[in-house]
Homo-oligomer: A and B are copies of this chain.
Amino acid sequence: MSRLECSVRNEIGDRGRPGKFQSEHRYHDTRKPILKTQIMRKLAVNILLAIILTASGAAVVTAQASAGPQLETARRNLMPVPASVNWRAGRLPVSKAFTVAFTGQTDERLRKYVFRALRRLEGRTVLEFSRDAANEPATATISIETRSTGNAIPRLGDDESYQLDISADQAKLTAPNTVGAMRGLETFLQLLEGDKDGFYFPAVSIMDRPRFLWRGLMIDSARHFQSREVLKRNLYAMAAVKLNVLHWHLTEDQGFRIETKKFPELHLQGSDGLFYTQNEIREIINYAAERGIRVMPEFDMPGHATAWLVSHPEIGSAPGTYKIERRPGIFDPTMDPTNEKTYKLLGPSFAEMAKLFPDAYMHIGGDENEGKQWNANPRIQAFMKKEGIKDNHELQTYFNKRILKFLQKNGKIMMGWDEIFQPDLPKDIVIHSWRGQKALAEAAKQGYQGVLSNGYYIDLAQPAYRHYVVDPLPADTTLSPEEQKRVLGGEATMWAEWVSAETIDSRIWPRTAAIAERLWSPREVNNVDDMYRRLANIEWRLEELGLTHRRNQEMMLRRLAAGRDISAHQTLVSIIEPVKEYRRYKERRQTMLSPLTGLIDAARPDAPAAREFNKAVDEIAAGVKVRENLARIRAMVNEWRAAEEELQATVDNSPALAEAKQLAVNLASLNRVLLESLDSLARGSRRNAEWRAEKMKALDEIAKPAAALEFALVTHARKLVEAASADRA
């Protein structure tokens, strides 16, 4: 990356993720959500005029919204959408006589998975099933056939396919192995429906298999330590949406989170006591394996390694002592690749970790080493000269090759961020791309396998569709079929600067389900509205697994309001969102020790009422259900107005909400703008240019973040103002 980019991103605490400029570039390329004012004016005005002229009558435009009934029926609540779905007539009722039969090769893992699935089904239906196995496949409610058990510890390339056939008499799930059956069981659970006649599974034939083999979630346990409980419930949710890799970010500037027997000073001095014992690591690996999920550890080096240097300053590239880093950002401390002591520490460490983690892959990070300590160290400079190493990138490659030997010796395959990519490394390493599809494609052309994370940075508080539209292999790819195979998949990345046990679920879910669909389902499954429809469903279903993404919001609001009524705050968080990308770093300076209990932490991406408002405006612009949508908008605005006074009162008396004062002011201002626009549209009267300018200026003010939060409907509010003041001649 260029120095210019680097300095900008440095300031805002970026580190090898899609930076502000990059990501704007990237997302604007893939989606064009905003119509140009000019076009908008014409379009909206024409439609609105037409409607206003027929306001008294029945001539209302009734075109279907894009995710119409067909799609709803085709996909019901399935997420990810299977490769092939054929609905049949009929339904399989669910009663307390529900039974399961196993045939073929069955292992304990599958039986436990089925046991848990049945408990979830009981939980939803409030029916108690018999615990006795029905070993009569012909009469069981669901018969599960697995041809082999497969790998007890999942591996890359495991066959995850399954076939699910449901008739009015029986469900039949067939899979080549246990992990395929697990995937099929999750589909089965998502099929449950109910109506006045009771619970049932619709008759269907599903053939399913993943599009990509590598479908991961990276959890950063280093910047903020994450308890086993947090990891477990998220692993449970990963399985529910068919993700299969937990990429576990374990060492960082801010913490060394894993017990080492050989060098216990590493975790004892580098973690504030917040680390996983090796038994706990095994517990998590086992928990993941029981859900068909691989666990790949990451030990980030040579940068992002301050926590190593706290107890081993001798392997740092600058003299002196090191302290656990408390700030977010990119920092100078870097391992010294020219010092043999570095390898004396790393060699045995990798050997120990290689034994602990059964997965074939090991991630060494490698990102965001800016080489400042290397540049400043004469001994390192002398070494480079002597060895003919011409720049820091080559020096890092030298380092990587030494590390690679340790990994190979322990039977592991190396994975690292884009920066490790260097054509003379062996072809079995895996490139993890924060740079994007282009970098990934380039590596693939040169014979390297890769995994995409650019576009899947869920820490950046972007709406789900932003991630959903990112395809590791876009339709216009120029890669040959052989090269395409090297694009293994993708990973959502939960960087943990701003997440606690209370909030992490809400930063991962439900949006990661949209990414999971991108990585599992056919490329053609890409209707954003239908994705959101199904996401709303999976959102509450995931909480049955113990996740807290939704229920914690109100708890946090209650604490902020110190017991006062929170309905006004609920209204507020339904239309505001945390600022996107890296703006939070600038707008609300915090450290790793700061409380994550503010309004920004309670707020979530994809603010639901804002999305509803925006959709209504878009539909009006598209001539869809114009009158209904206008009425819907008015009802929403009335609700927001009703919250104004109470919000103001609570904010005034709750010091923890003091930073939200401006938001309360802006809400009132926004409501005025919207009401005037609606009134004008309803009357069919045109507002003049002065009015328009005034409202646009007001919206500019409203658009400014306060407390690192922003109204998620300003763009669409502008459209309404535009329409109210548009020339209707």
Binding site for B on A (CB under 8 A): 119, 122-128, 131, 194-199, 229, 501, 536-537, 540-541, 543-544, 546, 548, 550-552, 554-555, 558-560, 562-563, 590-591, 593-595, 597-598, 652-656, 658-659
User: How many protomers of this protein does the assembly include?
Assistant: 2
Whether the pair B196, A653 counts as a contact (CB closer than 8 A) is: yes
Q: Select which of B543, B554, B597 is within 8 A of A124 by beta carbon.
A: B597
- B residues within 8 A CB of A659? 126
Chain B CB within 10 Å, residue with most, of A123, A554, A654, A656: A123
Whether the pair A126, B552 counts as a contact (CB closer than 8 A) is: no
Assembly CA distance A552 to B550 (angstroms): 10
Assembly CA distance A536 to B196 (angstroms): 38
Assembly CA distance A25 to B653 (angstroms): 46
Q: Select which of B125, B540, B563, B653 is within 8 A of A558 by beta carbon.
A: B540
- B residues within 8 A CB of A544? 559
Assembly CA distance A544 to B559 (angstroms): 8
Beyond A125-B656, A199-B656, A543-B558, 17 additional contacts (C-beta under 8 Å) are A125-B595, A126-B597, A126-B598, A126-B656, A128-B590, A194-B655, A196-B653, A196-B655, A198-B658, A199-B655, A536-B563, A540-B555, A540-B559, A541-B559, A541-B563, A550-B558, A551-B552
Assembly CA distance A694 to B127 (angstroms): 37
Enumerate 27 A-B pairs (CB-CB under 8 Å) in ascending A order: A122-B594, A122-B595, A123-B595, A123-B597, A125-B656, A126-B595, A126-B597, A126-B598, A126-B659, A127-B595, A128-B594, A128-B595, A194-B562, A194-B653, A194-B654, A195-B655, A197-B655, A198-B655, A199-B656, A501-B546, A537-B563, A540-B558, A540-B563, A541-B563, A543-B558, A544-B559, A551-B555
Closest Cβ–Cβ distance, residue A241 to chain B (whole Å): 16
- B residues within 8 A CB of A598? 126
Closest Cβ–Cβ distance, residue A225 to chain B (whole Å): 13
The answer to whether A555 and B563 touch (CB under 8 A), given A127-B595, A595-B122, A597-B126, is no
Assembly CA distance A559 to B127 (angstroms): 14
Closest Cβ–Cβ distance, residue A223 to chain B (whole Å): 16
Closest Cβ–Cβ distance, residue A279 to chain B (whole Å): 10
Residue of B nearest to A538 (CB): B563
The answer to whether A131 and B559 touch (CB under 8 A), given A125-B656, A195-B653, is no
Closest Cβ–Cβ distance, residue A62 to chain B (whole Å): 24
Q: Which 10 A-B pairs have the closest CB atoms?
A: A122-B595, A551-B551, A194-B655, A540-B558, A123-B597, A128-B594, A126-B598, A198-B655, A551-B555, A126-B656
Closest Cβ–Cβ distance, residue A603 to chain B (whole Å): 13
Residue of B nearest to A232 (CB): B229
Assembly CA distance A616 to B625 (angstroms): 45
Residue of B nearest to A279 (CB): B279
Closest Cβ–Cβ distance, residue A286 to chain B (whole Å): 14
- B residues within 8 A CB of A131? 593
Chain B CB within 10 Å, residue with most, of A124, A126, A536: A126
- B residues within 8 A CB of A593? 128, 131
- B residues within 8 A CB of A560? 126
Residue of B nearest to A707 (CB): B126
Closest Cβ–Cβ distance, residue A596 to chain B (whole Å): 8
Closest Cβ–Cβ distance, residue A700 to chain B (whole Å): 28
Assembly CA distance A174 to B553 (angstroms): 37
- B residues within 8 A CB of A540? 555, 558-559, 563
Residue of B nearest to A551 (CB): B551
Residue of B nearest to A326 (CB): B131
Q: Select which of B119, B196, B550, B590 is within 8 A of A595 by beta carbon.
A: B119
- B residues within 8 A CB of A123? 559, 595, 597
Assembly CA distance A196 to B652 (angstroms): 5
Closest Cβ–Cβ distance, residue A497 to chain B (whole Å): 14
- B residues within 8 A CB of A119? 595
- B residues within 8 A CB of A127? 595
- B residues within 8 A CB of A654? 194
Closest Cβ–Cβ distance, residue A503 to chain B (whole Å): 11
Q: Select which of B124, B196, B501, B655 is within 8 A of A125 by beta carbon.
A: B655
Closest Cβ–Cβ distance, residue A280 to chain B (whole Å): 12
Q: Select which of B536, B555, B591, B597 is within 8 A of A550 by beta carbon.
A: B555
Closest Cβ–Cβ distance, residue A170 to chain B (whole Å): 20
Assembly CA distance A654 to B125 (angstroms): 9
